[in-house]
Amino acid sequence: MKTASPVRFKDQNKILRHFQQCISVCCPKCEKKAEVSTDFTSYHSHLYCPSCFYQSDKPLVCFDMVVKEYCKRCNFRIVVETPEVRHKKEAIKVRCPDCGCEESYKPTYIEHVGYSYNFDGVDPFFQLPLWYQAPFKDELLWAYGPEHLLYLEEYIGAKLRERNQPRYTTMVERLPQFIKSAKNRDALLKLLERMKLK
């Protein structure tokens, strides 16, 4: 059933992360609709497909491993930097590039949360194609899930769009111009309606 678009849209100051707790994706095994749920407290993502029961887990916390030491034999400066290591080690063996001496060194680790900021129709955690996406002219219209679809529909359908003066840039402020353009309103609303029925 088609919902009537509101005349007025007031930005609720939502950012993309608000819609990332539950993302609809294409299952990598059966290509049917699957869900990626993410806990931003523990920084852990879980993929589950109700059709083929495929599932996968992914911790989002990773470490940059760094070793900066001097060779114990020739005093050559050794620098090893490895990004996005999932597990810490007490020591690693490193071969000196100058004299070839191999020794164990204790690395240091810099913790950070790592996930993709690529927004081209894939989820940021498993990099799987989003379930809700469709081409529009030379652009791509996409949404993380039903709640995101509804928010886009309310924004696109509104004749009057009000900002809410946040202290940060909101999702609607970052929307590409083809979504903001009034001339695309009717065509985009029809496309969103088809995407909702997928």
Domain assignment present for 1: no
Please tell me whether residues 126 and 34 are part of one structural domain. Answer: yes
Give the pLDDT confidence score for residue 114 in this predicted structure: 72
Does the pLDDT value for residue 86 go beyond 70?
A: yes
Domains contained in the chain, number: 2
Q: Which of 16-30, 72-86, 156-170 has the highest mean pLDDT?
A: 16-30
| Sole residue written with tokens 């989003």 | 130
Name residue 81's beta-bridge partners.
Answer: 66
**Which of 71, 87, 112 is the endpoint of a domain?**
112
Query: Within 10 A of 164 (CB to CB), how many other CB atoms are there?
Result: 11
Confidence of residue 37 (pLDDT cuts 50, 70, 90): very high
Mean pLDDT for 45-56 is 97
> By the 8 A CB rule, do 49 and 34 touch?
yes
Give the pLDDT confidence score for residue 45 in this predicted structure: 95
Mean pLDDT for 40-52 is 94
Please tell me whether residues 67 and 53 are part of one structural domain. Answer: no
Please tell me whether residues 172 and 120 are part of one structural domain. Answer: yes
Q: Distance between CA 93 and CA 134 in Å, rounded?
A: 49
Please tell me whether residues 14 and 50 are part of one structural domain. Answer: yes
Type of residue numbered 85? V
Mean pLDDT for 18-27 is 96
**Domain extent for 91:** 61-112
The rounded Cα 136 to chain-centroid distance in angstroms is 22
Confidence of residue 61 (pLDDT cuts 50, 70, 90): confident
Q: Distance between CA 24 and CA 144 in Å, rounded?
A: 6
Written as six digits, the tokens of 170 are 């909101």
Q: Distance between CA 38 and CA 150 in Å, rounded?
A: 20
